[in-house]
Amino acid sequence: MKKYMCFIALSLVGVSLMAQPYYNAIGVRLGKQYGISVQQKIYNNFTVEGLFHYDFRNTSSISVVGKQYKKIILPNLNYYYGGGLHKGWIKDNILESDDGAKVDAEGNTSDPFGITGVAGLEMTLGRFNIGMDYRPNINFTGGGGLLDHNTAFSIRYVIMKDKQPFKTGNKKKKRKKSAKKPILGKKR
């Protein structure tokens, strides 16, 4: 059992390899809210993701998060973590409270704005990227309270693949071995 736990712990330790095997992808995110996800690799294993969410009831939101990728045991299987900002909009024609203020079905009176965390797993198979993530949202203003949780499944189409996803870029150039030439016709 100890060997198994050590193996898992070591495989989760971040490596300097570039873990994300694509440059950009677009797709859908399905969970508590439905949305469109667009990802763009910025540097080696760092990606920026833009999301537009809509829950078909009373709110829509956008969020922009930066994600740090780390490779796990299998090729193209990654875990990631990161954070960013979110801004939401509550439909203003949902309900009226007793005092005449506009509120949504959950009693929210203003549009949410705050920071978003993210942690998840993803795997790229050919041109498709499949992922599952958890996003805690901390609202500075509005929303259903200070903390909101969101878990979702994403499937994206890879627009541009990385030709060498596991290249480290730190490899030393191979030096050609030069044969020793005799000086003035003499052999050494």
- Which one-letter amino acid corresponds to residue 157? Y
Contacts (Cβ under 8 Å, ≥6 apart) of 185: none
Locus of tokens 């969410």: 53
Q: What is the pLDDT of residue 16?
A: 33
Measured between alpha carbons, how far is 121 from 134 in angstroms, rounded to an integer?
9
More confident residue, 71 or 99: 71
Domain residue ranges in the chain: 18-161
What DSSP character marks residue 12?
Answer: H
Q: Which residue has the tokens 């797993």?
A: 121
This prediction's pTM: 0.68
Segment 10-35, tens digit of pLDDT: 343 333 344 567 889 999 999 988 99
31/155 Cα distance (integer angstroms): 12
Take residue 60 and report the two structure tokens written for it: 């829509």
Q: Which class would CATH give 18-161?
A: mainly beta
Q: How are beta strands 113-125 and 102-103 bridged, if at all?
A: unpaired
Q: Is the sign of the CA dihedral 91, 27, 114, 143 positive or negative?
A: positive
Q: Which pLDDT score, from 0 to 100, does residue 9 have?
A: 39
For 94-147, what is each residue's pLDDT tens digit?
555 555 555 555 665 678 899 999 999 999 998 999 999 999 999 998 877 788
